[in-house]
Amino acid sequence: MTPLPDPDLYAVVPCAGVGERAGAGMPKQYAQVAGRSLVAHTLAALAAVRRIRQVLVVLAPGDSAFESHVPGHTGWVARVGGASRAASVAGGLVALAEHGARDHDWVLVHDAARCLVPTHAVDALIDACLDDGVGGLLALPVADTLKHERDGRVAATLDRAGKWQAQTPQMFRLGPLREALLLHGGEAGITDESSAMEAAGWAPRLVPGALENFKITYPGDFALAERLFRTRDPIP
């Protein structure tokens, strides 16, 4: 049997949501943080990862704002976003294949709202997963005590042992990820690529991430991101 050629690495950035909880008055990925749109920072961070061959941004079909918020973007864009994250990522994988990506190539799916992802964390994920049979994701062990809420009050304290907080990128081979999303993407509880792979019977690897790789979700997160950008070395 002829061996497969070495896999390439691609990134997919789902960018089709509106981010209502962020209170930005616009899709949160286009809100300004430290002089750039949030997604422009995210794409700059991914561009600094030299092993990623190309980045594909998945936009909503009617999105006409992206180019004005990310001037000079030279990556791929596909206006195939769906009603859910799973649908948007699945559409992005189809677009990657149309650009020549193969089933055994690696795809790193990264949230547009994680604009502070460090290059070293993405490189650590790649190093951990390149020879892995499944792939994996950046994540952090849960340090805080966890409470289960009911009607605004504590109903129970949960055991935090063995629990991790998922981050992105999440890195899987294109073919298995596309199949997992096709079969399980519409199910309840499929909120990221790892959960789709888990539903398909795989056990993704957990790779320690970074505290600053948080997802901008609420209004106060923008101010925190602004402060962090002021105290870190800029990405060109």
159 within domain boundaries? no
Report pLDDT digits (tens) over 181-223: 999 999 989 999 999 999 999 999 999 999 999 999 988 999 9
Percent of the chain with pLDDT over 70: 94
Q: Which CATH number goes with the domain that contains 193?
A: 3.90.550.10
61 within domain boundaries? yes
Q: How far apart are CA 36 and CA 234, in angstroms?
A: 12
- The owner of tokens 């936009």 is 59
CB 57 within 8 A of CB 80: no
Q: What pLDDT is recorded for position 26?
A: 73
- Looking at the DSSP bridge assignments, the partners of residue 55 are 11
List the one residue out of 49, 182, 165 whose CA is nearest residue 108: 49
Position 173: which residue type? Answer: R
140 within domain boundaries? no
235 within domain boundaries? no
Cβ atoms < 10 Å from Cβ of 119: 14
List the one residue out of 193, 138, 130, 147 whose CA is nearest residue 167: 138
| 3 state SS of 202 | coil
Per residue of the chain (236 residues), what is the pLDDT tens digit? 567 789 999 999 999 976 545 445 578 899 999 999 999 999 999 999 999 999 999 999 999 999 999 998 989 999 999 999 999 999 999 999 999 999 999 999 999 999 999 999 999 999 999 999 999 999 999 999 999 999 999 999 999 999 999 999 999 999 999 999 999 999 989 999 999 999 999 999 999 999 999 999 988 999 999 999 998 876 54
Report pLDDT digits (tens) over 29-45: 999 999 999 999 999 99
CB 93 within 8 A of CB 176: no
Question: Which residues constitute the domain of residue 103?
Answer: 9-135+166-230
Q: pTM of this prediction?
A: 0.93
Q: How far apart are CA 169 and CA 136, in angstroms?
A: 9
Would strands 32-33 and 36-37 be described as parallel, antiparallel, or unpaired?
A: antiparallel
155 within domain boundaries? no
**How many domains does the chain divide into?**
1
19 within domain boundaries? yes
Return the exposure string of 63-102: e unless at least 16 CB atoms fall within 10 Å of the residue's CB, then b: beebeebbeebebbbbbbbbebbbbbbbbbbebbeeeebe
- Looking at the DSSP bridge assignments, the partners of residue 127 are none
Q: What pLDDT is recorded for position 65?
A: 93
